[in-house]
Chain A
Amino acid sequence: MVAAALVAMALLPLAEIVARGLFGRGIPGAGPFTQHLTLWVAFLGAALAARDGKLLALATGEFVPAGRWRDATRLFSSAVAAAVTGLLLWACLELVVSEREAGTVVAAGLPIWVAQLALPIGFALIAWRLVDRASDRRWGKAVAALGLAAGLAAGWHVFRLSRDFALEPEPFGPALPWLLLVGAATLLGAPIFAALGGAAVLLLLAEGVPAAAVPAETYRLVASQMLPAIPLFTLAGFLLAEGKASERLVRVFRGLFGSVPGGTAVVCALVCAFFTAFTGGSGVTILALGALLLQALRQERYSERFSLGLLTASGSLGLLFAPALPLILYGIVAQVPIEELFLGGIGPGLLLVVLVAAWGVREGLRGKVERQPFAWREALAALWLGKWELLLPAVILFVILTGIATPVEASAVAVVYALAVQAFIHRDLSLTRDLPRVLRECGVLIGGVLLILGVAMGLTNYLVDAQIPSRLVEWAQDSIGSRILFLLGLNLLLLAVGCLMDVFSAIVVVVPLIVPLGVAFGVDPVHLGIIFVANLELGYLTPPVGLNLFLASYRFDKPLLEIWRAALPWLAILGFGVLLITYWPGLTLGVLELLGRR
């Protein structure tokens, strides 16, 4: 079902481009239908992720010793997560009922409330899986089911009060103890969506705002106009990762750069940047390419520590290149044109790649690693073989910048392009054998991420409701004297945020706080976006929630501490790059000025 919805999502925008081109009028409701399909992809995907036990969680739960203690914490965190899910389920029903009363339509007579059913159905399936996976024993599952029942009862209580317009602030007493409970469960391994969603509902209820305010924002984000670009570009990345594209790319970059000192290290930085641009910090780069690249590095006698550090750090290179998901999400949340972020990211993205590559060259010179001589024939042959993959980013920017397609439509083009290249030109991917599996895997990943983003929007809603952004602007204007000081404070704040939050929820929750400040201090919105994403790139390498650290530890089978030590010098290099990006606006805005957009 997720697979079918994803396919429909890719085909609708394409049909729209063709119809618009041929008949000049497009397809009725193509846009709204695609947006609401995203809602279904997200929540069915999230339900699949819950079924596979792949809902993103903090890894702190892994520090609990295995055995009885681990079982107990798993049960506790699952029961609390199930309770939060029960509460959210009623919140979604409240939204659906109110939407049904209003009689709103998506297009062509399809009521919005029917499309919104994805939310309660998704949460119901997730709740069921949380209970089922809470324990291996029957009594354990029963305890988790009690947690769910408590959440459902609480949800029903506030649902009835809200429907009667009788909801008062703090319906369950002060929010703090409940927040602490959710926080504890999160540290012990409850899924992140439960932490964000639980905090959002509890804080809003404490203000007397109905719980439906959380799913209302989830719906607003996940069914928004630009959002379909995120699952579609991810799917394109998955399709590329599935075929032998990575081997072809390694060969291309090796043919071109293998002869310089530290050539293989440079190749790693380039290949990782290329892949991450498509898979967008989801860690697919490390998982898909890590083993291949580590082998290449070790063969050429780069030290283990150097190789691990390079690959862990390179996993987040490329987040500033089109069509990286953080850029798209930033554009949606901050209302900045997405292609301007794409163009603005080129300079800073190249800077980071060059810095990492330069460090690799230095290692190559120092370690006297053997080099291969440059061969024109091999370089050209490799380029020719890899031409289709290499052209994809250019194709995307071309269709957007010539007005053939919107960014969402361009993402659909990317999917079909990647599929055609992998399935028909290189024949690396079978439509019947591989495609359904790839679609499902992609749905699981997208569902997990969009679920978190959706509930994080609920938390943002609380911040806006409490007028925190405007108070922050007042405070900052009174107490921060200059733009330089503001930017310095921003660097520090985002570094801290990156330590605690993943890049996507950070964008959803923190961007609405930062954007008005950026305007107040005269920072160009595109530059602010690039600073934001570049800063959070560092967060992939900072404990305790550094996603790349965990993925590298998992993929290379090394202790977390060792990976972290190996990544430390790279963190310093990237940190230097981020400072350059922050205080040199021309690096970001130069391309836009060249194209007459500034």
Chain B
Amino acid sequence: AGAQMTVKLASLAPDGSIWDLATEEMGADWATATDGRVRLRIYPGGVAGDEPDVVRKMRIGQLQAASLTVGGLTEIDDAFRIFGVPLFFASYDELFHVLDALSPELERRLEAKGYVLLNWAHAGWVHLFSSRPVKTIDELKRSKLFVAAGDDSTVQWWKQNGYRPVALATTDILTGLQTGMVESLPSPPLAALLLQWYRQAPYMLDIGIAPLVGATLVQSRVWDRISAEDRAALLASAGRLGEKLEREVPEQDGEAVREMQARGLEVVAVPASEEARFRAAAEEFAERVRGERLPPEILNQALAARGAYRARQGAAAGGAEP
């Protein structure tokens, strides 16, 4: 401890986006809080590669930290697949409650793989965008659904549940939509706006598919070389950053939807009866992928936490009624 160190951090967040700006702010914080003993060098916008590449570079010791989303986190531990189960979470509030319950176990798993969790950095909520309106679960099953190529088990999840996943590179989405090779894709609204996907897929399903959970990690072997005092300061700064994103990201997604609506996006409302069918299909989906590279104990824990939250909400709502 006491020596100077540079922590190299990579992320997919575009240069200048709120995530990137927040990370830069954290870097400035870190330098001040530790009198320059810990400096952050940021590689934004995927210059260090896609998330699996970033994780690989952390393993070989080129990078020491990263802000990852579900894709990169599942490269480290399968438990993070829980955040990829469609329609598992109904709202941010529900997500935060389940996350609180799961955090100790997830942090333990990360520690076992040699990482320390600095914060949860939320990246938005994934919605379904489609080239034709998708209102029912049957229409969704008939639609050719984009799935990011590379992680074959996610592709298999969708197949097992009777959907038509088409594995493509993210760069091929626009062409895929234009040519009809894919007809629908899950995406956070901001990404759909920035990458212009909404122009070819101008219908957005009103139900959020899944949160795009992100986390900032640092390698334990680097972390352990920092003095306890400095570590506390760094963690506090990272925590502030996470809270800030927790507030700003949902607002930003809302703005993105309004912006796209002004340019022709149609938000497809789903009748309550059909929403129930969507939720039921999702429950089945979660059960069917139990054990398929999704650790059962994580699913059980998440179900229990979610059940408790829903019961409380139900009771609160019930109590409020006359």
Contact = CB atoms under 8 A, between A and B. Distances in A.
B152 to A, nearest CB: 4
B164 A25 contact: yes
Given A464-B43, A464-B47, A467-B41, A212 B60 contact: yes
A212 B62 CA distance: 9
A467 B40 CA distance: 13
Contacts of A209: 61-62
Contacts of B55: 102
A336 B181 contact: no
Nearest to B155: A28
Interface in B118-161: 149-150, 152, 155-156, 159
A437 interface: no
A465 B150 CA distance: 25
Interface string B36-62: 000001010001110011011101111
A165 B221 contact: yes
A403 B59 contact: no
Contacts of B15: 470
Interface string B148-185: 01101001100100001111110110111011110000
A102 B78 CA distance: 12
Contacts of A31: 149, 167
B75 interface: yes
A553 B62 CA distance: 44
Contacts of A401: 179
A406 B60 contact: no
Interface residues of A, number: 51
Nearest to A215: B60
A406 B152 contact: no
B61 A216 contact: no
Contact of B166 (A20, A216, A464, A597): A20
A336 B47 contact: no
A439 B48 CA distance: 35
B156 A225 contact: no
A101 B171 CA distance: 30
Contacts of B47: 464, 469-470, 512
B28 to A, nearest CB: 17
Contact of B174 (A32, A162, A337, A467): A337
A95 B60 contact: yes
A255 to B, nearest CB: 35
A14 to B, nearest CB: 16
Interface in A423-458: none
Contacts of A184: none
Nearest to B53: A220
Given A225-B150, A226-B169, A216 B75 contact: no
A336 B171 contact: yes
A167 B179 CA distance: 50
Nearest to A469: B47
A226 B169 CA distance: 8
B45 to A, nearest CB: 9
Contacts of B174: 337
B171 A102 contact: no
A464 B61 CA distance: 15
A403 B155 CA distance: 19
Interface string A386-413: 0000000000000011111010000000
Contact of B152 (A108, A210, A220): A108
A99 interface: yes
Nearest to B225: A165
Nearest to A29: B152
Interface in A83-133: 94-95, 98-99, 101-102, 104, 106-108
Given A337-B172, A467-B41, A403 B179 contact: yes
A216 B156 contact: no
A216 B60 contact: yes
B62 A210 contact: yes
Contacts of B167: 26, 31
Interface string A466-479: 01011000000000
Interface in A318-367: 331, 335-337, 339-340
Interface string B6-44: 001000000100000000000000000000000001010
A24 interface: yes
A469 B166 CA distance: 34
Contacts of B179: 400-403
Contacts of A470: 15, 47
Contacts of B180: 402-403
Contacts of A467: 41, 43
A165 to B, nearest CB: 6
Contacts of A512: 47
Nearest to A402: B179
B15 to A, nearest CB: 8
Nearest to A465: B62
A346 B164 CA distance: 34
Given A335-B171, A339-B175, A464-B47, A162 B60 contact: yes
Contacts of B171: 331, 335-337
A247 to B, nearest CB: 36
A512 B48 CA distance: 11
A129 B170 CA distance: 40
A213 interface: yes
Given A99-B59, A465-B62, 20 more contacts: A25-B159, A28-B159, A98-B60, A99-B56, A101-B59, A102-B59, A104-B52, A212-B62, A213-B62, A216-B53, A217-B49, A220-B53, A335-B171, A401-B179, A402-B179, A402-B180, A403-B179, A403-B181, A404-B181, A406-B172
13 contacts: A24-B164, A28-B152, A28-B159, A99-B59, A165-B61, A165-B221, A210-B61, A217-B49, A402-B179, A406-B172, A461-B62, A464-B48, A467-B41
